[in-house]
Amino acid sequence: MVQLPAQPIGPTIFALASAPGRAGVAVIRVSGEGASRVLDYMAGPRPPARRASGRFIRHPESGEKLDHGVVLWFPGPKSFTGEDVAELHLHGGRAVVQAVLGALAIMPGLRMAEPGEFARRAFEAGKLDLAEVEGLADLIDAETEGQRRQALAQASGALSDLYDGWRASLIEALGLIEAGLDFADEGDIGAKTFTDATAVIKVMAQAVTHHLEDGHRGEILRDGFRVALTGPPNAGKSSLLNALARRDVAIVSDEAGTTRDVIEVRLDLGGVPVIVSDTAGFRETQGAVEREGMRRSQAAAEAADLVLWLTDASAPQTVLPPELAAVADRTLLVLNKVDLLSDGAAPALPDDMVPLSVKTGSGVDDLMKRLAVIAHERIGHHAEPALTQVRHRNLVEGCRAALQAFLDGSPDEVELRAEDLRRAADALGRITGRVDVEDVLDHIFGRFCIGK
């Protein structure tokens, strides 16, 4: 039996960093002062820094071999969390992982990590700012190419650089104004510095407005481009959803009013996540449940970035019901069941209507392409990083409002104008976490899984 060190050590956390379950390789991460002891007692001799080394992983007390794996040693501060970090790369069997986690738990001063605790330590050590942490969480959640690119850019500091740049200019302008205050007796100098600061703020206010008026492209890419399938009952909405999903997700029936709940499928259209929702058909009805279904359809259409109005070619209804009046400008008309039309019998229809037959499959690919084009147009391809979430949008709005207050306010009340600039800088600082953000931390880090 090995005698484990008795002296207390700083709080050290450990967790499985790879996905739980059977796998080729599993990675356990340890962060904190106790990481070196883990290597010394369980995988000694401690390997050179940042060099993968093969070792037996042993029980710290009995010395029993638990696995043979690869271990890594990242002495702080050059590590993900800024603390001493050890990584144990094991065979990814459940019993192996359990045995090693169990052994770590008996090491003094070690405990299982909470969700997001590694990332939180990285944030607290100044390794990542808050926008980068959020980018990292998005990168882990990314399901399409577009999402991956956007999240990687954010995790690498693209948004932070933008906001920090603005914040630095604000602080500079604030400095100018405050310097002007000191020369209050010499009126000319004060007025000159105020004019200089105003010029800077004007340009920045324009850039901030441009950033906000981006058509929500970053948020749509992060959360998915929403498409609502609407139309009269029996037009084939549920059939089309199944065709798009390439599996049976919705009940198809020739009994009108079958679909009541909103059913969603996620598609990857050229790197853009597209969420298509099937809804209840619009028609006159007495049924309370069906009316509720139609209310949900209307809500889904209003929340959608694009609405498809699907109608049956043998009895086309090309006039939208009043419930959809508000979304008419983002509605695409789709004519289904063209297989039922005999040659030459096509009714006169709007030019931009997309014809298809879910039954024969003709036109379905064209519709997919059309959706991809529309979604890509909305998101576009831009060099500048985009806002990706409401938290950022609200703070950037707050910054803009403060800049506007500065520009609208009286230049004679210099202290108040300085306060406007301070508020604008604070709003930006809260995005990256440079300014106190204690209130949002639990929420942001709680999004991670354990081990990140």
Residues that bind ligand GDP (CB under 6 A): 231, 233-239, 252-254, 258-259, 281, 336-337, 339-340, 357-359
81 vs 242 by CB, closer to Mg ion: 242
User: Alpha-carbon distance 326 to 411, whole Å?
Assistant: 44
Yes or no: say if 98 and 34 are a contact pair by the CB < 8 Å rule: no
Residue 337's binding partner out of ligand GDP, Mg ion, none, with CB under 5 to 8 Å set by partner kind: ligand GDP
259 versus 297: smaller Cβ distance to Mg ion: 259
Count CA atoms within 13 Å of residue 240 on its CB side.
Answer: 34
Residue 358 binds what, of ligand GDP, Mg ion, none (CB under 5 to 8 Å, by partner type)? ligand GDP
For residue 445, the SS3 value is helix
Q: Which does 47 bind (CB under 5 to 8 A by kind): Mg ion, ligand GDP, none?
A: none
- Site track 236-255 with Mg ion (rule: CB under 5 A), x = hit: -xx-----------------
Distance separating alpha carbons of residues 279 and 240, to the nearest angstrom? 11
Per rule CB under 5 A, is residue 259 in the interface with Mg ion?
A: yes
Residue 359: contacted member of Mg ion, ligand GDP, none (CB under 5 to 8 Å, by partner type): ligand GDP
Quote the distance between the C-alpha of residue 318 and its chain's center. 37
Q: Is the dihedral of CA 18, 21, 25, 31 positive or negative?
A: positive
Residue 353 CB, nearest approach to Mg ion (Å): 20
Residue 368 binding: pick among Mg ion, ligand GDP, none (C-beta 5-8 Å cut-off by kind): none
H or E element: which one contains 147?
helix 145-155
269 Cβ partners below 8 Å, 6+ apart? Answer: 368, 371, 372, 375
The listed partner (Mg ion, ligand GDP, none) that binds 451, CB under 5 to 8 Å by sort, is none
336 near Mg ion, judged by CB under 5 A: no
CB of 240 to Mg ion, least distance (A): 9
Environment class of residue 378 by beta-carbon count within 10 Å: exposed (0-12), middle (13-18) or buried (19+)? middle
CB of 328 to Mg ion, least distance (A): 22
Residue 279 interacting partner from ligand GDP, Mg ion, none (CB closer than 5 to 8 Å by kind): none
Q: Are 330 and 308 in contact (CB under 8 A)?
A: no
Name the minimum Å distance from CB 316 to Mg ion: 18
CB of 52 to ligand GDP, least distance (A): 55
**239, 330, 256: which is closest to 293 by C-alpha?**
256
Q: At 75, which amino acid appears?
A: P
Strand order in the sheet with 53-58: 53-58, 65-74, 85-91, 25-31, 12-16, 110-112
Q: Which is nearer to Mg ion, 22 or 291 (CB)?
A: 291
Distances in whole angstroms, Cα of residue 73 to Cα of each of 34, 53, 79? 12, 9, 9
Residue 53, strand partner residues: 71
Q: Closest approach of Cβ 278 to ligand GDP, in Å?
A: 7
Closer to Mg ion by Cβ: residue 235 or 427: 235
Nearest approach, Cβ of 251 to ligand GDP (angstroms)? 7
Per partner kind, with CB cut-offs from 5 to 8 A, the member of Mg ion, ligand GDP, none near residue 298 is: none
Q: Minimal CB distance to Mg ion: which residue?
A: 259
167 binds, among ligand GDP, Mg ion, none (CB under 5 to 8 A by kind): none
Q: Which is nearer to ligand GDP, 193 or 336 (CB)?
A: 336
* Shortest Å, Cβ 407 to ligand GDP: 53
Closest distance to ligand GDP from the beta carbon of 430 (Å): 46
Half-sphere exposure of 20 (CA within 13 A, CB side): 7
Residues pairing with 250 in the sheet: none
Instruction: CB nearer to ligand GDP: give 221 or 308.
Output: 308
* Nearest CA-CA partner of 83 in 124, 40, 114: 124
- Yes or no: say if 424 and 170 are a contact pair by the CB < 8 Å rule: yes
Cβ distance 166 to 204 under 8 Å?
Answer: yes
Query: Which residue, 315 or 407, is less far from Mg ion as judged by CB?
Result: 315
Binding footprint of Mg ion on the chain (CB under 5 A): 237-238, 259
